[in-house]
């Protein structure tokens, strides 16, 4: 810079035309790393130098293998003891299909409700200066750690026919929630939504809020900025949260049986059917469990890119 005033910038200026010709900006597109949003190109993590073999201490190896066996063996047992010969018979019974259909429908509905309510809630937590935000976040995550049965009891106290809100719903609109399919969806949503909120909030925090500012300077209202900029950018986080919530809803037992009961075809979801069958017909319980296992594995395979690849 000093050149300007010290009057000796002629030498530098002489270099410029060659500089300019050497590298047109268009040539550089190829060697720019594409970031995640740009395309499916994924940079493979460079392989770390392998830790020296035969040096794994036994005190770590033994519990590790034991843990692994503990996680795998029950599933193996399920496969071994499955009544393979009578399986087709077991699975064609209408009771099984009713339960499976109810499970899939209610888990999907619970996920949909979680999305509609949870994404805005996550946005509120991540993007606004809400007073008492920390407390609110703690309350949102409470169902994560709360025993589901307690959640069911609590739902019953509020939404039950004699509950705080439920009695009013009953008298004003004639709406009864407990022991209905809607009740199943409510119980599952209560348990599953926190997974979605946490996941989406994390995605929102990782997304640069300045993109929303850029949208604002282009004339976008906050809602438009959220819809057209933020939402597409956090879509992977939302998808991950939705899957987590769906899986949690699919496996929900405690809150469902407490709040919605166990009526076949209406509120009896797969986990409930499995539990009930264990008492009367263990073979059927195993068959039902296999179905849930298949659904779970299918989901895991669908998500392998996300969770099975090491970071």
Residue ranges in contact with other proteins by CB under 8 A: 1-8, 11-12, 16, 19-20, 22-29, 32, 34-35, 37-39, 208, 210-211, 213-221, 224, 228-229, 232-233
Task: Please say which residue, 32 or 54, places its beta carbon nearer to other proteins.
Answer: 32
Cβ of residue 189: shortest distance to other proteins, in angstroms? Answer: 29
3-state DSSP assignment of residue 221: coil
Residues 196 and 115 sit within 8 Å (Cβ to Cβ): yes
- Rounded distance between C-alpha atoms, residue 284 and residue 82, angstroms: 9
d(C-alpha 308, C-alpha 311), whole Å:
9
| Nearest distance, CB of residue 181 and other proteins, angstroms | 37
Nearer to other proteins, 18 or 280 (CB): 18
CB of 41 to other proteins, least distance (A): 9
Q: Closer to other proteins by CB, 6 or 280: give it.
A: 6
Q: How far is the CB of 200 from other proteins (least distance, A)?
A: 17
CB 207 → other proteins: shortest distance, Å?
10
Distance separating alpha carbons of residues 291 and 92, to the nearest angstrom: 12
Q: Decide whether 27 or 279 has the Cβ nearer to other proteins.
A: 27
- By beta-carbon proximity to other proteins, the closer residue of 119 and 288 is 119
Residue 182 DSSP code: H
Q: What angle do CA 170, 174, 175 make, to 5 degrees?
A: 75
Residue in the block written with tokens 């309350």:
139
Report how far residue 138's alpha carbon sits from residue 251's, in angstroms, rounded to the nearest whole number: 23
Nearer to other proteins, 35 or 305 (CB): 35
Nearest alpha-carbon partner for 107 in 196, 227, 222: 196
Runs of H (alpha helix) within 160-303: 166-173, 181-206, 210-217, 222-225, 231-233, 235-250, 254-259, 270-280, 282-302
Q: Smallest gap, in angstroms, from Cβ of residue 238 to other proteins? A: 13
């Amino acid at each position: 810079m000093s050149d300007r005033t010290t009057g000796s910038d002629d030498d530098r200026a002489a270099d410029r035309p060659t500089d300019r010709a050497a590298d047109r900006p268009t040539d550089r597109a190829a060697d720019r790393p594409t970031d995640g949003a740009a395309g499916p190109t994924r940079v493979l993590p460079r392989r770390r130098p392998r830790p020296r073999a035969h040096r794994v201490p036994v005190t770590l190896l033994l519990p590790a293998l034991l843990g692994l066996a503990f996680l795998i063996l029950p599933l193996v047992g399920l496969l071994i003891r499955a009544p393979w010969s009578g399986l087709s018979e077991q699975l064609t019974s209408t009771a099984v299909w009713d339960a499976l259909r109810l499970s899939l429908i209610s888990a999907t509905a619970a996920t949909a409700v979680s999305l509609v309510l949870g994404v805005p809630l996550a946005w509120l937590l991540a993007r606004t200066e809400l007073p008492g935000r920390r407390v609110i976040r703690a309350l949102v995550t409470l169902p994560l750690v709360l025993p589901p049965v307690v959640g069911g009891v609590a739902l019953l106290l509020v939404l039950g026919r004699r509950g705080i809100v439920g009695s009013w719903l009953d008298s004003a609109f004639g709406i009864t929630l407990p022991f209905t399919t809607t009740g199943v969806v409510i119980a599952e949503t209560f348990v599953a939504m926190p997974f979605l909120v946490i996941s989406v909030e994390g995605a929102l925090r990782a997304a640069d809020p300045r993109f929303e500012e850029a949208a604002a300077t282009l004339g976008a209202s906050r809602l438009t900025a959220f819809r057209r900029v933020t939402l597409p950018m956090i879509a992977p986080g939302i998808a991950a949260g939705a899957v987590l919530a769906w899986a949690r809803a699919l496996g929900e037992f405690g809150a469902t049986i407490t709040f919605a009961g166990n009526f076949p075809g209406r509120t009896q979801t797969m986990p409930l059917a499995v539990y009930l069958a264990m008492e009367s017909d263990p073979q059927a319980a195993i068959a039902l469990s296999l179905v849930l296992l298949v659904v779970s594995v299918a989901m895991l395979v669908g998500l392998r890119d996300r969770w099975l690849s090491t970071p």
